[in-house]
Amino acid sequence: MCGIVGYVGPREATTIVFEGLRRLEYRGYDSAGVATLRGGRILVRRAEGKLSNLEHLLADQPINGHIAIGHTRWATHGAPSQRNAHPHTDCTGEITLIQNGIVENFLSLRQALQAEGHVFSSETDTEVIVHLVEKYVAQGCSLAEAGRRAFAQIKGAHAIVLLSSREPDTLVAARLGNAGGVTVGLGEGEMFLASDIPAILEHTRRMIFLEDRQMAVITPTGPQFFSLDGQAVEKSVTEIPWDPISAAKGTYRHFMQKEIYEQARSITDTLRGRIDFETGVVTLDELNLPPKAVSQIKEMVTVACGTSAYSGLVGKFMIEALARVPVEVDYGSEFRYRDPIVDQHTLVLAITQSGETVDTLAAMEEARQKGARLVSIVNVIGSMAQRISDGVILMHTGPEIGVASTKAFSASLVDQLLLGAYLGQARGTLADQDSRSLAQALAELPELAGRVLQDGYNDYETLAHDFHDREHFLFLGRGINYPIALEGALKLKEISYIHAEGYPAGEMKHGPIALIDESMPVVTIAVQDNVYDKMISQIEQVKARGGIVIAVAHEGDQVVRDKADYVLTIPRSHPLITPILAVLPMQLLAYYLAVRRGCDIDQPRNLAKSVTVE
Ligand code: M6R
């Protein structure tokens, strides 16, 4: 969950590392630090709180060098404070380290190291690693060998980078398990390291990803790779197609805002080259699922977390309708703890924007062990989820920086529609005419999304004005739009800190109806689909109890307009596409309410973009 950046080369290393941290601030923002080497000495600057505090410290007490590491922290062990911020340094002051992950056996290691005379200066689990490295360096090991021996002793998942004044041109990095990525960026006479691609994208697009239990020893002339048992490893280079501009905020006030408004474009990119809009035929080359493999699938299980899990719930409706395959959806964090029933006839679909969410990766590993075929819908190219899957459908939505996921949600819905159509075409469950009408609707989708996102199409400012002081919201949806109610509630909770619940509308009378009064807005998705009449009666039930209704409805629906207090409209479309349009007002409602409440939109409290701890 922490952000990691490293640099070695001729340029001013602290500046490059700090700029990289700025792009990773969404990873963790309770403290930050950098370390460099100057005159044979390690120099460290650390500050509690947001990155701007470190920026001020560096302005007051600059440190310059040609090798540096930097870290943004999301606290696990030890409160957010300057002394617990990374980098952590050993007793000699010669070795310093940054880490992402939890050292599960840190207590016993710490006691043993203290008994050997090591003095600790923080409350973190991380610090044991640097003292272990110190111990092996004192025995005559190189930094890489000392790291290798230390890494063999620590339990848990980690991404680690080491820097030592004894080897002033070398960074040592390692990945152990799924605590987030370690990416080596290749430059000319300079090398970069990062937990996430956007941190170094402006310097290079040529990247190498560490696999589990691999290390990199990096000097300005290039990296060498080893397994943790010391064997040399050959690695291939991935060219990242992302444009550095796409990782910048541009003229927008917030990344979340930019990413919401980008969706007409990002949906186009997700569709591009994958569907013939005339015939409706879907081609998903990287899915690696030939017709013979499709014919062996008896059921699907989707594993994901948070917004991606809600996307999976919408996808269940899409895939079952198009391919007539039963789809079960489970949280990554639950799946592996229930001895799931999957086998070689199960297609397991992981949905993950980052491709590094530890619970989703663990669920994928569980499915793999049980013999399931594994495919994923992923945004971050080269991420672990992509690498461990048998096939992939990339979101093609560009980097998503806002902690609240928006454009990745709509892209993953488009991907699931394509997957459903692909499976339906291979299984013969989707008639040619139905393929064509879906394709036609998908062709119109970017334009329809653009319409919903146009200035003045819906009035969010009024809603923000009228409801920014409310404590609770209820979101209701039914059928394929029920998960959109869940997603609307999640978006609101995350960025505005208003308590919100998403509920299947038909269940309201079984409990939540007791909450309804004149102070709690009820957001209902009441589009003209097969459950429209039912949704109208839900609205009536809310109104009969004095509730306030904010309805998402189709353009021109006078019935809803007459009954609801406020209406957010969306254009009519194919019923399987409607959720992709219905989520847009949910995102904008949450965004405008949070802005009005003065919340920190891109760095909501306690949250991190990639959740790499259990
Ligand atoms: O990267 P992933 O899609 O695997 O992330 C899953 C969740 O952590 C993520 O969707 C989270 O719920 C977002 N903050 C939602 O906006």
CB 52 within 8 A of CB 34: no
Alpha helices in 497-557 (DSSP H): 532-544
Tell me the C-alpha distance between 537 and 478, whole Å.
Answer: 12
Of 329, 330, 349, 354, best ligand 1 pocket probe by most atoms within 8 Å of the beta carbon: 354
265 and 240 share one domain:
no
User: 273-309: string of b/e by CB count within 10 Å (b at 16+)?
Assistant: ebbeeeebbbebeebebeeebbeebebbbbbbbbbbb
Q: What is the mean pLDDT of residues 101-117?
A: 94
**Residue 270 counted as domain residue:** yes
40 and 148 share one domain:
yes
| pLDDT tens, residue by residue, 220-236 | 999 999 999 999 999 99
The residues assigned a catalytic role are 2, 609
The total number of structural domains that make up the chain: 3
From the list 609, 601, 363, 373, the residue with the least C-alpha distance to 497 is 601
Burial of 418 (0-12, 13-18, 19+ CB in 10 A): buried
CB 42 within 8 A of CB 171: no
231 and 272 share one domain:
no
**Domain C-terminal end among 397, 424, 450:** 450
340 and 286 share one domain:
yes
Distance from the alpha carbon of residue 171 to the mean position of ligand 1, in angstroms: 31
Neighbour count for residue 510 (Cβ, 10 Å)? 10
Tell me the C-alpha distance between 590 and 537, whole Å.
Answer: 25
Beta strands across the sheet bearing 214-219? 88-89, 95-101, 158-164, 171-176, 214-219, 222-227
The predicted pLDDT at position 77 comes to 79
For helices 127-138 and 143-153, what crossing angle results, to 10°?
130
| pLDDT tens, residue by residue, 63-98 | 999 999 999 988 777 788 899 999 999 999 999 999
Type of residue found at 79: A
The token duo for 378 is 């992923």
**Domain C-terminal end among 195, 219, 251:** 251
SS3 222: strand
Cis check: omega of the bond before 446, within 30 degrees of 0: no
The token duo for 250 is 């541009």
Distance from the alpha carbon of residue 244 to the mean position of ligand 1, in angstroms: 22
**Residue 45 counted as domain residue:** yes
Q: What is the mean pLDDT of residues 517-532?
A: 95
**Residue 157 counted as domain residue:** yes
Please provide residue 345's backbone torsions phi and psi, each rounded to the nearest 5 degrees. -95, 5
**Residue 610 counted as domain residue:** no
241 and 265 share one domain:
no
Say whether pTM exceeds 0.75: yes
| pLDDT tens, residue by residue, 463-473 | 999 999 999 99
431 and 487 share one domain:
no
Distance from the alpha carbon of residue 130 to the mean position of ligand 1, in angstroms: 31
**DSSP secondary structure string for all residues of 103-146:** -TTHHHHHHHHHHTT----SS-STHHHHHHHHHHHHTT--HHHH
Q: For 55, how many CA atoms within 13 A lie in the half-sphere containing its CB?
A: 10
From the list 464, 468, 459, the residue with the least C-alpha distance to 569 is 459
Q: Which helix (H) or strand (E) holds 500?
A: strand 499-504
Tell me the C-alpha distance between 469 and 545, whole Å.
Answer: 21
Q: 243 pLDDT band (50/70/90 cuts)?
A: confident
Q: What is the mean pLDDT of residues 429-457?
A: 97
Determine which residue's CA is closest to atom 4 belonging to ligand 1.
352
The token duo for 394 is 């990339």
Q: Is the pLDDT confidence value at 180 over 80?
A: no
Type of residue found at 402: G
Of 335, 353, 386, 607, best ligand 1 pocket probe by most atoms within 8 Å of the beta carbon: 353
**Residue 42 counted as domain residue:** yes
Please provide residue 70's backbone torsions phi and psi, each rounded to the nearest 5 degrees. -145, 160
Determine which residue's CA is closest to atom 9 belonging to ligand 1.
306
| pLDDT tens, residue by residue, 338-375 | 899 999 999 999 999 999 899 999 999 999 999 999 99
| pLDDT tens, residue by residue, 540-580 | 999 999 999 999 999 999 999 999 999 999 999 999 999 99
Q: What is the mean pLDDT of the chain?
A: 94
**Residue 608 counted as domain residue:** no
Instruction: Report the first-to-last Cα separation within the chain, whole angstroms.
Output: 10
Read off the CATH number of the domain in which 559 is found: 3.40.50.10490
Pairwise pLDDT comparison (607 vs 117), residue with the higher score: 117
The predicted pLDDT at position 512 comes to 87
538 and 567 share one domain:
yes
Ligand 1 is surrounded, with C-beta below 6 A, by 305-308, 352-354, 357, 360, 403-405, 494, 607, 610-611
The full length of the chain comes to: 614
Read off the CATH number of the domain in which 94 is found: 3.60.20.10
**Residue 604 counted as domain residue:** no
Place of tokens 């110190």: 134
270 and 415 share one domain:
yes
The predicted pLDDT at position 417 comes to 98
Neighbour count for residue 233 (Cβ, 10 Å)? 14
Ligand 1 atom with the shortest distance to the CA of 405: 16
Distance from the alpha carbon of residue 525 to the mean position of ligand 1, in angstroms: 23
303 and 334 share one domain:
yes
Tell me the C-alpha distance between 373 and 484, whole Å.
Answer: 28
User: 561-593: string of b/e by CB count within 10 Å (b at 16+)?
Assistant: eebbebbbbbbbbbbbbbbbbbbbbbbbbbbbb
Q: Which residues are within 8 A (CB) of 229 and not within 5 positions of it... i.e. 6 or more apart?
A: none
CB 72 within 8 A of CB 28: yes
Percent of the chain with pLDDT over 90: 87
The domain of 204 spans: 3-251
DSSP state of 232: B
| pLDDT tens, residue by residue, 307-341 | 999 999 999 999 999 999 999 999 999 998 889 99
Percent of the chain with pLDDT over 70: 100
From the list 580, 194, 188, the residue with the least C-alpha distance to 382 is 194
From the list 390, 198, 212, 412, the residue with the least C-alpha distance to 304 is 412
146 and 162 share one domain:
yes
Q: 609 pLDDT band (50/70/90 cuts)?
A: confident
470 and 500 share one domain:
yes
Q: 27 pLDDT band (50/70/90 cuts)?
A: low
**Domain C-terminal end among 223, 251, 279:** 251
154 and 276 share one domain:
no
Beta pairing class for 373-378 and 346-352: parallel
| pLDDT tens, residue by residue, 408-419 | 999 999 999 999
**Residue 225 counted as domain residue:** yes
Distance from the alpha carbon of residue 298 to the mean position of ligand 1, in angstroms: 28
Distance from the alpha carbon of residue 52 to the mean position of ligand 1, in angstroms: 25
**Cα dist from 378 to 8, 455, 555, whole Å:** 30, 30, 33
Tell me the C-alpha distance between 337 and 171, whole Å.
Answer: 38
The token duo for 514 is 């007791």
From the list 339, 422, 350, 414, the residue with the least C-alpha distance to 380 is 350
Tell me the C-alpha distance between 200 and 194, whole Å.
Answer: 7
